[in-house]
């Protein structure tokens, strides 16, 4: 499973990118709004840091506006992937962009059927929102498992991004299920790195070392 960061914060992305395991970035309107900066400039800076797919979401809901926005975002950098919310207009946009060879990530996926339709319309990626499914009293991992199994069964090459990850166990479970990618917030990546026994082990090694010199 490849690791993406779910962030629009340049410092977070730079820090995580330096560790060598980062394959891509996803942003969304809420994450970009938090930065209070020019949207296209943020995407440009991210694309200069990370050599991999960078998802940038359209804000419009009308087809024509979605397509205009998508083309402008795609012009920023060849690695930009257009994030499109899963609506009827969104599916049309995915299909048209696919014909123009502009990569898309179908976002706000909450059912296996939505994922299947997005894939068949030509989405390069689908993003089931695991954490938000859990928040709603349902099983986000079951949704991910269903999508993985359907895509496997029909040899669909659309990549699955486990999104709305809330804690490290979500990442482990997504990897075991066979998600192609997990997009993970900075805080959860840091939680994945840390382990109290690693810290205790370092402390013990260092104190033993100091006693011997
Ligand atoms: C994914 O692409 C989304 O940006 C993100 O994972 C949404 O997560 P949230 O439910 O924590 O907002």
Q: Please state, in angstroms and rounded to a whole number, the distance separating the CA atoms of residues 84 and 107.
A: 6
Q: Please state, in angstroms and rounded to a whole number, the distance separating the CA atoms of residues 88 and 63.
A: 9
Q: Is 83 a catalytic residue?
A: yes
- φ, ψ dihedrals at 106, nearest 5°: -75, 120
**What separation in angstroms does the CA of 128 have from each of 67, 112, 116, 174?**
22, 8, 11, 11
Q: Please state, in angstroms and rounded to a whole number, the distance separating the CA atoms of residues 174 and 7.
A: 19
From the candidates 34, 36, 83, 176, which is the catalytic residue?
Answer: 83
Tell me if 183 sits within 8 A of 161, measured CB to CB: yes
How far does residue 28's CA lie from ligand 1's centre (Å)?
A: 7
105 lines ligand 1 (CB under 6 A): no
| Pairing between β-strand 181-184 and β-strand 104-109 as defined by DSSP bridges | unpaired
- pTM for the whole thing? 0.96
Query: Which atom belonging to ligand 1 lies closest to the Cα atom of 107?
Result: 2
**Residue identifier of the C-alpha nearest atom 4 of ligand 1:** 28
Q: Please state, in angstroms and rounded to a whole number, the distance separating the CA atoms of residues 38 and 206.
A: 47
Q: How many CA atoms lie within 13 A of 21 on its CB side?
A: 14
Q: Kindly tell me the burial class for residue 31, based on how many C-beta atoms sit within 10 Å of its own C-beta (0-12, 13-18, 19 or more).
A: middle
Write out the chain's pLDDT in tens, 213 residues. Answer: 999 999 999 999 999 999 999 999 999 999 999 999 999 999 999 999 999 999 999 999 999 999 999 999 999 999 999 999 999 999 999 999 999 999 999 999 999 999 999 999 999 999 999 999 999 999 999 999 999 999 999 999 999 999 999 999 999 999 999 999 999 999 999 999 999 999 999 999 999 999 988
- Helix, strand or coil for residue 84? strand
């Amino acid at each position: 499973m490849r690791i993406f960061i779910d962030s629009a914060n340049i410092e977070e992305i730079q820090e995580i990118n330096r560790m060598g395991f980062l394959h891509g970035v996803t942003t969304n309107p809420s994450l970009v709004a938090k930065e209070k900066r020019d949207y296209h400039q943020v995407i440009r800076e991210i694309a200069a840091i990370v050599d991999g797919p960078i998802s940038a979401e359209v804000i419009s809901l009308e087809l024509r506006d979605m397509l205009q926005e998508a083309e402008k975002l795609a012009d920023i950098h060849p690695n930009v992937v257009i994030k499109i919310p899963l609506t009827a207009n969104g599916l049309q946009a995915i299909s048209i962009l696919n014909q123009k060879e502009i990569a898309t990530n179908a976002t706000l996926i909450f059912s296996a059927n939505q994922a299947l339709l997005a894939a068949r319309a030509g989405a390069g990626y689908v993003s089931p929102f695991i954490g938000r499914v859990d928040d709603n009293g349902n099983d986000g991992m079951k949704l991910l498992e269903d999508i993985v199994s359907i895509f496997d069964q029909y040899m669909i090459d659309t990549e699955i991004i486990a999104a709305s990850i809330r804690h490290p166990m979500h990442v482990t479970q997504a990897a075991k299920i066979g998600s192609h990618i997990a997009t993970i917030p900075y805080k959860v990546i840091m939680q994945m790195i840390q382990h109290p026994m690693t810290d205790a082990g370092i402390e013990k090694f260092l104190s033993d070392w100091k006693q011997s010199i």
